Structure 1
Amino acid sequence: MSSDTAIRVVIADDHELFRAGMRAMLAAETGIEVVGEAADGAGALAATVAARPDVLMLDVEMPGVPVLSTITRVLAESPGTRVIVVTMHRDRVLADHLHAAGASTCISKSATSAELIAAVRQAAPPSRAQGEIQRAPSKAVLSHREREVMRLIGDGLSNEAISRRLSISIGTVKRHNTHIYAKLGATSRTDAVRRAWTLGVFAGARP
């Protein structure tokens, strides 16, 4: 396969050693070319816009722009790029949110080199000539009120304090908590906060 038809890949991960290992592994493969790297979400977007790769390998937890926002912006700027999210977590709820945002697939960092290479080959479009693919905009993970409650949970407020802050009953706060946990796949307040940060729930203006 010539360089003109090789699968062009950008690697985005905040761990330099992981990027180096991924770069070496992919560079050794016939028909795959690494055309850019990044260490955070903003860098991933910039590298994708600059290189217009076939595949972006995107770490789920990097500094800066949340992963869902990164996926959305990447696909808006480079619709021909397929996004493979690389994660340490085997989490069905997180994977569902990532797929809804437009990720082609999710793969574990513990996957074998053969599995990672296979994911790149499977995600790459058959031809760059197939044109842009229209994607429906992804829905917010939480409702507006649930984001307000989640942000206050992140600030360490109790249910009683959230009730007073938002002028709602404690029972309503608890119902919001139940919905938030279900949507995030969380099992505790600490787990909900971690997942909310990963999915970008805390981005934007505070309540």
Structure 2
Amino acid sequence: MDTPIRVIIADDLALFREGLKKVLAYIPNIHCVGEAHTPQEAISMASRLQPDIIMMDISWYGDRWTGIHAIEQIKRQTPQVAVIAMTAYPEWIEQAQRKGADMAVSKEVFNDSDQLERLLEEVLRKVRQAHTRHIITTPLTEREKQVLRLMARGALIGEVVKELSCSAGTIKRDVQNICDKLQVTNRVHAIARAYDLGILTLGSSFPPEPI
């Protein structure tokens, strides 16, 4: 790890938090920026401190749903933060992953600093790659958004030309620009990616306003 990795530990057991901090201290460039004593505190700290990773217990005071719901909320509010779900109950791992945990592991792995370092590197790389794929470096223009909305309605090039009073060449260039900016190869994938990124919504395929 070349740059400091900022970590929050979230667990209801003070003894476990302290033990995990000691293991993390053996790993270069790991900086524990906070400890959460409750799921609500973990959610708040994720938003306020923007750590790289939250190491989050699944079961809080014997209730697994408390931790799982907190993981779901953290990933919804701060998707760029990697969440490692921790549990002493392997049967809960799959459920935590379905609710958004980037990785879910048994607490036994935290006894080995080398294994823990590899785990942290893996989950951070995974989340950063996913987050990078969802960043558009060049925003769509208003006309490109209008073209995209029309394509989502099923309009062909000729219909888009008529609707926007532009030449076919102009619209084809707009379609190519849309594909380039969204990093896809065709209009079908462009529409799907636009929905994924929130550029299009289910209610957005309405006739565009005149330019």
TM-score range, shorter chain: 0.5 to 0.7
- Alignment pair present for 1:87 and 2:90: no
Q: Is residue 122 of structure 2 the alignment partner of residue 122 of structure 1?
A: yes
Partner of 2:45: 47
CA separation of 1:82 and 1:107: change in aligned 2, threshold 3 A: same
AA partner of residue 49 (structure 1): S
Residue in 2 aligned with 1:99? 97
Structure (1/2) with the larger helix percentage: 2
Q: Judging changes above 3 Å, is the alpha-carbon distance between structure 1 residues 72 and 99 closer, same or farther for their aligned structure 2 residues?
A: same
The one-letter code sitting in structure 1 at the alignment partner of 2:80 is: G
Cα 1:59–1:72 shift into 2, 3 Å: same
Aligned residue in 2 for 1:59: 57
**Aligned partner letter, 1:68:** I
Equivalent residue letter for 1:45: I
Which residue does the alignment assign to 1:24? 22
Report the RMSD for the aligned CA atoms in angstroms. 2.5
| Equivalent AA in structure 1 for residue 120 of structure 2 | V
Which structure's relative contact order is higher, taking Cα pairs within 8 Å and 6+ residues apart?
Answer: 1
SS at 2:56 equivalent: strand
Partner Cα separation in structure 2 for residue 128 and residue 52 of structure 1: 14
* Structure 2 match to 1:155: none
Number of equivalences: 130
Q: Give the match's secondary structure for 2:40.
A: helix
Aligned to 2:154: none
Distance in 2 between residues matched to 1:106 and 1:33, nearest whole Å: 21
CA positional deviation for 1:42:
0.4
SS at 1:62 equivalent: coil
Q: Quickly say closer, same or farther: Cα 1:133–1:62, change in 2 above 3 A.
A: farther
Residue 47 of structure 2 contacts residue 78 of structure 2 at CA under 8 Å; is this kept in 1? yes
Distance 1:128 1:100, change over 3 A: closer
C-alpha deviation, 1:75, in angstroms: 1.0
Alpha-carbon shift at residue 125 of structure 1 (Å): 3.4
Q: 1:77 to 1:127 in 2, by over 3 A?
A: closer
TM-score between the two structures when normalised by the length of structure 1? 0.56
The whole-number CA distance in structure 2 between the counterparts of 1:70 and 1:104 is: 13
* Superposition deviation, residue 116 in structure 1: 2.5
The offset of 1:110, in angstroms, is 1.8
Task: Find the aligned partners of 1:133 and 1:99 in 2 and give their Cα distance.
Answer: 20
Could you say which residue in structure 2 is the equivalent of 1:110? 108
Equivalent residue letter for 2:99: A
Cα pair 1:13 1:58 within 8 Å, conserved = yes
* 1:70 paired to 2:97: no
1:1-54 residue CA offsets vs partner (Å, 9 max, x unmatched): 66xx31111100111111111112213311211111111110111111121111
Partners of 2:133 and 2:100 lie apart in 1 by 11
How far 1:130 sits from its partner (Å)?
A: 7.1
Larger-gyration structure (1/2): 2
Counterpart CA distance in 1 for 2:104 and 2:126 is 19
Off by >6 Å, runs of 4+ in structure 1? none
Are the equivalent residues in 2 in contact too, given 1:7–1:121 (CA < 8 A)? no
Scaled by the length of structure 2, what TM-score is found?
A: 0.55
Matched residue type, 2:34? G
Counterpart CA distance in 1 for 2:102 and 2:129 is: 19
Give the percent of matched residue pairs that are identical in Structure 1 and Structure 2: 28
